[in-house]
Amino acid sequence: MTTQTNDCSSCDFRIVKIPPQVHGPNATRPIWPAIQYFPRYVGSARGAPEYDAKNLPRGHFNWSVYEPVGSLPQPNTTFGYIEGVYGILNDHGLGFGESTCSAKLWTKPAYDGGQALLDIAELSRLALERTQSARSAIALMGSLAETYGYYGGYWSGEDDDNKAEAGETLTIIDESEAWVFHILPDDTGASAVWVAQRLPPTDVAAVANAFIIHEVDLSDATTFLGSANLHDVARRNGFWDGHSVFDFTRAYAHPPANPWYSTRRQWRVLTLANPALTLSPHTDANGSDYPFSVPAATRLSAADLMRFQRDHYEGTPWDLTQGVAAGAYGNPDRYETGHWDGNEFERAISIFRASYSYVASVAENGTSVLWVGPYAPHGTLFTPVYPLASRMPSALATGSLLEYNASSLFWTNAVVGNTAARFYKFAHPVVAAVQEAVEAEFLAGLTRLRATGNATALVERLTNEGDANVAAAQRAFEDLFATLMTRFHDGYVVSNFTDAVPVVTPMGYPDWWLTAAGYYDGSHQAQYLLVTAWVAIVLSAAIGFWFGQRSNRHVERRGYVHLK
């Protein structure tokens, strides 16, 4: 299994099925620019009707077909796969997760003054179109990036900003293996440096916007794969002395401004997977003393990975549901401050600005499953759909940030997430209960489907099953929104709905919060009086200005010059 959250405030959140295709002789594969916002692609070349210009919403912008920035030779056939901003899971059980990382080298794409043709989104799509195993996907992506050049997610800002998104990681799974793949541009801007490490079958690894591969032994091809220039680029740029043990992360990772932004999440996932692990939450910026992976304490399920993705460090010293920043009702969301001053709130695993999250689970009998949850993990239902389906359900494959759309599952979930956030400590247990119950029903249905799968009608069955699952998820969260609004509103908890008169109980404020707000020392009243006095002064000044202007206009009419 692999899992990802696409933490992006402005991304195209649609989940789309790209069908398998047959291509003519001498066909070429267009290469598209890196676009994450809606619509990430417009055209017919991918074969998905959701990307056709005529099917996009009107009234915002007159989108036209996107022009490719290059091309590659196209094989005769390509596989079908599910994609979001990046490629996710193909018909043959090859699955990806993605995490943007910092790197010491960056470059521009060929369409913006550079030489590199491929970004990680195009590499992931190419691999899902053309390969069936993790090893072959790594070999293909590495070869293409070395030949045609790789560029990262940002290249038009200051040097540190460009480096912050210059690297990428893909977690890659097939039926028998799981790998972590790191990549960055080389120092010529026309190629790439990359490395990959295989996980032991009992282990869990966590990538949280930072490289995690340290010591590399390319002579051990069972465990490591890498580019031929891996050592040379590091040596000639002074990233490695050529004599000490080669550490990929130490050599190529750009030190982050906030050292715990990534390592704290890495620590959290590893210790959730193995609670007996003696791993300190404090480490250096590169997590140098953290293992690449750790054995899981028990065999993990998709439900375990969903639980990890919904985490806010509950029960730890960094619990985001606690403290003044969480407010009186324990909201774990920490919004951007609007300016950068070197300080940051703790970065949760589940974050409000996620476009979607998912757990990809590979099966041998053709029923690999993608548990997909539009919006933030703590405010979504993970709903099973299938890469062998002929299409994705409309509620997943349509919608945008340009307008609220009640038929889009993202917006249904966002309404629940935003509603529950206001009175989180009261409302979220109700959300969690619905998540647990509905996801358990989905799991039971998935077990029945796998047990009774009919190969001759599998595509149709999986398509219909995905439709039914997404419809059930949407109904469940529409009902949940009604429940939340009924039970928690205007500072009250409403209960006992079977009685003639419901019970309406004030939520109240905890004493610690009232103390912090100055309730007990009267300072909140002083602030009110200060605001009142300021308003009175402003009103007085405004009235005086109005009378003055009125008088001035009277003076000007008599022929005097008024100096303003």
Are 432 and 361 found together in one domain?
A: yes
Q: Is residue 364 part of a domain?
A: yes
Q: What is the identity of the amino acid at 12?
A: D
The tokens describing 229, both together, are: 């220039």
Are 361 and 505 found together in one domain?
A: yes
DSSP 183-199: EEE-TTSSSEEEEEEEP
User: Which pLDDT value is given to residue 452?
Assistant: 57
Q: Is residue 545 part of a domain?
A: yes
pLDDT of 362 strictly over 60 = yes
Q: What is the identity of the amino acid at 219?
A: S
Specify the number of domains making up the chain. 2
Are 444 and 540 found together in one domain?
A: no
More confident residue, 20 or 455: 20
- pTM of this prediction? 0.91
Q: Is residue 463 part of a domain?
A: yes
Determine contact, residues 107/114, Cβ cutoff 8 Å.
yes
As a whole number of angstroms, the distance between CA 108 and CA 54 comes to: 32
Say which residues have a Cβ less than 8 Å from residue 561's Cβ, sequence separation at least 6: none
Q: What is the identity of the amino acid at 290?
A: Y
Per-residue pLDDT band for 450 (boundaries 50, 70, 90) equals low
Q: Is residue 16 part of a domain?
A: no
Are 394 and 534 found together in one domain?
A: no
* Residues 35-58 pLDDT 10s: 999 999 999 999 999 999 999 998
Q: Is residue 474 part of a domain?
A: yes
The tokens describing 393, both together, are: 């359900």
Q: In the 8-state DSSP scheme, what is residue 379?
A: G
Helix and strand element counts for the chain (H, E): 13, 21
Per-residue pLDDT band for 149 (boundaries 50, 70, 90) equals very high
* Residues 330-352 pLDDT 10s: 999 999 887 777 788 999 999 99
* Residues 210-238 pLDDT 10s: 999 999 999 999 999 999 999 999 999 99
Are 436 and 391 found together in one domain?
A: yes
Average pLDDT over residues 152-178: 96
Are 427 and 539 found together in one domain?
A: no
Average pLDDT over residues 85-104: 98
CA 161 to chain centre: 19
Long-range CB pairs of 457-465, under 8 A, 24+ apart, other chains included: 458/366, 458/367, 458/388, 459/388, 459/389, 459/390, 460/390, 462/367, 462/386, 462/388, 462/389, 463/386, 463/389, 463/390, 463/391, 465/384, 465/386, 465/389
Determine contact, residues 349/309, Cβ cutoff 8 Å.
yes
Q: Is residue 452 part of a domain?
A: yes
Q: Is residue 479 part of a domain?
A: yes
Q: Is the peptide bond before 510 cis (omega within 30 degrees of 0)?
A: no
Are 457 and 495 found together in one domain?
A: yes
Are 438 and 546 found together in one domain?
A: no
Nearest to 100 by CA among 36, 41, 39, 148: 36
Are 431 and 456 found together in one domain?
A: yes
CA 68 to chain centre: 26
Are 361 and 495 found together in one domain?
A: yes
Determine contact, residues 205/171, Cβ cutoff 8 Å.
yes
pLDDT of 156 strictly over 80 = yes
* Residues 231-282 pLDDT 10s: 999 999 999 999 999 999 999 999 988 889 999 999 999 999 999 999 999 9
Are 507 and 526 found together in one domain?
A: no
* Residues 284-331 pLDDT 10s: 999 999 999 999 999 999 999 999 999 999 999 999 999 999 999 999
Give the residue numbers spanning the domain of 545: 522-557
Q: Is residue 537 part of a domain?
A: yes
Are 390 and 491 found together in one domain?
A: yes
- The rounded mean pLDDT for the chain is 92
pLDDT of 539 strictly over 80 = no
DSSP 305-344: HHHHHT---TTSTT-TTSSGGGTTTT-------SS-SS--
